[in-house]
Structure 1
């Protein structure tokens, strides 16, 4: 039975970004309803690589990617691929993406990402401690692995740019890589990001965050928002079993946000990356920190009682079934590192919200501040959840924000 309800703030989307926003708003004394048809913290918030990637300042679109874009898109074994059936609908997004790969755009996008990431690691440390998840948060750094001398030399410019943007990174020779991770096969070298943190169980951390949200007084509604309509005194949200009036609405629905943004009056070029992971159960994973074999574009992630292999980029929308080929590529790639791996114990696919410039959409709607945007974080949604929550709270309260919001506003398009 549909109930006619009112609330101060409605947050659409109970992923890590939406939950963290709801938590901070409730702690500020606001009445908050959190709406999602799925259980809190599922989807990409659960299935990611677990890295608090404060080093991930480089946008997906760079001049190097632009040079290799045709081969990247149409090579089925590439870390970045496109489902050919989705190509017509993706064409406008791809044109915007190509433009963002140009040197000037890529440099500005990197600076804007770095501004958001500056406090990511301590922010997650504090959030984890607050919700009882300190034991799930490890600071052991992250290792990029280069299999050939050519790849290692080719990474030098990228690593130097990260250093200029304030990222601590150490270049390792083969002996140093082996000392750091003796279970890995021989490599030409590595790049070590010592300040990076990771979650040993993202799903468990999401459960703890959901518990903190409800303890703070946030009401969870298991419902799907199908219509968003601006009113004189707020916003009406309706769907099956849902009829809610809110003075302010925060759209934090990740890859599902574009339709609601359009209803709010904002044409946002959001599309969907389909991410995959496979897992092998093992009491003692053979690694002590996340490792990225850069040529393959995935992460080897040691988690509690299992090894998770997560990553690659597949542009293919929200409706196509999982690609067995992408799963097979992850398994094959993992076996090049650990040849004794058998069949994986589980596999997963989820959706990332992807913007052509790799910048999230955060801030008030162009049509009025009754609607606030908070999505489009791409590969770093987990990492940026605490920062996004602070920015949204400041925008709603009318306070100055810790960073210049101009690069992230929906009106930038």
Structure 2
């Protein structure tokens, strides 16, 4: 039998959340062991949301997925295979409890409460990322060019005014711009009748994989990293025992940051949580100069046009379907079709991707101590906002480890809310 090793703080999960936490704790002089199935120094898992995301540090993205508008259209959204929010029908029985919670959280009162919680989390997302990128030597990857929501019709633009007023009330900076201003900002886009919402403070990673690589290298240099899969978590009197193939590690504190794979271990820690999986997709075209200069979302199509380094990435859509089903060729085809509606001359894409987002029914992550005891701290369930909120989450977890009061009330993030 593998002998038991001991450590002070174990972090389960080497995605962007776990890495950011490890970097922050190491900077504060903590003894950290990071556990992830992928060897340290290698490119992050190709199915990780950290690798394939849209790259936006989206300080404006304060609305939960579930809103009254979504609730009104939920049946057609979920069962229309061309919808930007869809479900694999084979997964419906297992997803039903999650969907019921999602529907309840989409009612007006819960949806507004969830938006306020997300807004409080997002307040420092951009400055925290600028600080982290500078520490990692990746400042040139961070682009301060803002982000655009484009409305193709005048009626859609008018309808957006109420949405943007609500975002402003929660601290988001946004300018509504007319078609001519949009044309000046992004001459590569086709003309629209409506206009756009411009979020000037948003920051963009033009190569998320490279930034995560820098973060991972920094963590590997400053912490102990174990290539292992944690299969069991057991509370014992003198710590938390983590076991798996060739792993027996006892830690004084454990931080669970395994993204979409966190639910089973959270249950072992004493918290039954409604975590499920959104499957996100992207397609990429290699090109020296992408046709947009900042992340741009054609709002009627439900995806982002992302000007990555040396390529255009079209990222988006939500598919509820679990962790085991293969990627859907239809979802990839719809992204390609949508991109060609905007840029008709695009050739066949150079690559496509599908990855897993850890999704809570209220779109609010779980950050904070386990109900069964503060020896386990949860840090997962960030949905679309994992990259955006990684440094913020790391700061909260570091405060909890140090016994400091976090900068915000963690009650809405607690596992006890379910």
Instruction: With the length of structure 2 as denominator, give the TM-score of the two structures.
Output: 0.97
Q: Deviations over 1:168-209 (max 9, x none)?
A: 101111101101100000112110000000001101101110
d(CA) in 1 for partners of 2:298, 2:3: 52
Q: Which of 79, 82, 102 is 1:74 aligned to? A: 79
Q: Could you tell me which runs of 5 or more consecutive residues in structure 1 were left unpaired when the two chains were aligned.
A: none
Tell me the C-alpha RMSD between the 2 structures: 0.9
Q: Which of 367, 371, 385 is 1:366 aligned to? A: 371
User: What's the counterpart of residue 142 of structure 2?
Assistant: 137
Alignment of 1:194 with 2:176, yes or no, is: no
Q: Deviations over 1:109-139 (max 9, x none)?
A: 1110000000111000010000000000000
Superposed displacement of residue 162, structure 1:
0.4
Secondary structure of the residue that 1:155 maps to in structure 2?
helix
Alignment of 1:383 with 2:388, yes or no, is: yes
Q: How many aligned positions are there?
A: 412
More displaced 10-residue stretch of structure 1: 131-140 or 31-40: 31-40
User: What's the counterpart of residue 95 of structure 1?
Assistant: 100
Secondary structure of the residue that 2:4 maps to in structure 1?
strand
d(CA) in 1 for partners of 2:328, 2:124: 36
User: What's the counterpart of residue 257 of structure 1?
Assistant: 262
User: What's the counterpart of residue 233 of structure 1?
Assistant: 238
d(CA) in 1 for partners of 2:165, 2:65: 17
User: What's the counterpart of residue 108 of structure 1?
Assistant: 113
Alignment of 1:292 with 2:297, yes or no, is: yes
Residues 212-251 of structure 1 mapped to structure 2, 5 A cutoff: 212-215=218-221, 217-251=222-256
User: What's the counterpart of residue 411 of structure 1?
Assistant: 416
d(CA) in 2 for partners of 1:297, 1:252: 28
Alignment of 1:328 with 2:354, yes or no, is: no
User: What's the counterpart of residue 59 of structure 2?
Assistant: 54
Q: Which of 392, 396, 403 is 2:397 aligned to? A: 392
Instruction: With the length of structure 1 as denominator, give the TM-score of the two structures.
Output: 0.98
Superposed displacement of residue 264, structure 1:
0.4
Superposed displacement of residue 148, structure 1:
1.2
d(CA) in 2 for partners of 1:100, 1:374: 21
Relative distance call for 1:20 and 1:142 in structure 2 (3 A) is same
State whether residues 391 and 402 of structure 1, in contact with CA within 8 Å, keep that contact through their aligned partners in structure 2.
Answer: yes
Q: Which of 142, 152, 155 is 1:147 aligned to? A: 152
Superposed displacement of residue 73, structure 1:
0.5
User: What's the counterpart of residue 306 of structure 1?
Assistant: 311
Q: Deviations over 1:44-80 (max 9, x none)?
A: 1111000000100111111100001011101111110
d(CA) in 1 for partners of 2:74, 2:311: 34
Q: Deviations over 1:220-250 (max 9, x none)?
A: 1111100000000110000011110000100
d(CA) in 1 for partners of 2:131, 2:170: 23
d(CA) in 2 for partners of 1:184, 1:302: 13
Superposed displacement of residue 2, structure 1:
3.4
Secondary structure of the residue that 2:190 maps to in structure 1?
coil
State whether residues 2 and 240 of structure 1, in contact with CA within 8 Å, keep that contact through their aligned partners in structure 2.
Answer: no
d(CA) in 2 for partners of 1:49, 1:407: 26
d(CA) in 1 for partners of 2:224, 2:314: 34
d(CA) in 2 for partners of 1:256, 1:406: 23
User: What's the counterpart of residue 350 of structure 2?
Assistant: 345
Secondary structure of the residue that 2:230 maps to in structure 1?
coil
d(CA) in 1 for partners of 2:107, 2:187: 39
State whether residues 14 and 39 of structure 1, in contact with CA within 8 Å, keep that contact through their aligned partners in structure 2.
Answer: no
Relative distance call for 1:68 and 1:250 in structure 2 (3 A) is same
d(CA) in 2 for partners of 1:249, 1:290: 36
d(CA) in 2 for partners of 1:44, 1:194: 25
Q: Deviations over 1:143-164 (max 9, x none)?
A: 0011112211221211111011
Q: Could you tell me which runs of 5 or more consecutive residues in structure 2 were left unpaired when the two chains were aligned.
A: none
User: What's the counterpart of residue 279 of structure 2?
Assistant: 274
Superposed displacement of residue 4, structure 1:
2.3
User: What's the counterpart of residue 33 of structure 2?
Assistant: 33
Secondary structure of the residue that 2:196 maps to in structure 1?
strand
